[in-house]
Amino acid sequence: MPIFIAKTYEGEAESVVLAKNIELAQAYWQGKRIYPHTIIIKEEKDLENHITGVLPIVHTRKIDGYEVGRHSRDKKYLVISNE
């Protein structure tokens, strides 16, 4: 079953869903008021003949408020990246 990654015009990941097909993914996004500029599709066949056998999709890390220009160091933020 494919994974669909909705990206903004700036190329930022906006939503990642597992769906039976692209039509269902788009219907879900429409209900969430997400209108992707680009959709990346990842499937098991993408791993065939792949050198590592691993396709990264999303990475996360935690940062504190100081790193994003906020004065509260106690507040933590989860940063999500697709690279």
List the chain domain ranges: 3-81
pLDDT greater at residue 52 or residue 82: 52
Tell me the pLDDT tens digit for each residue of 25-35.
999 999 999 99
Tell me the pLDDT tens digit for each residue of 8-65.
998 888 899 999 999 999 999 999 999 999 999 999 998 998 899 998 888 888 777 6
For residue 47, give the 3-state DSSP assignment.
helix
CB count in 10 Å sphere of residue 4:
21
CB neighbours of 46 closer than 8 A, spacing ≥ 6? 55
Q: Which residues pair with 7 in a beta bridge?
A: 13, 38
Is the pLDDT at 66 greater than 70? The verdict is no
For 23, list phi and psi in degrees, rounded to 5: -65, -40
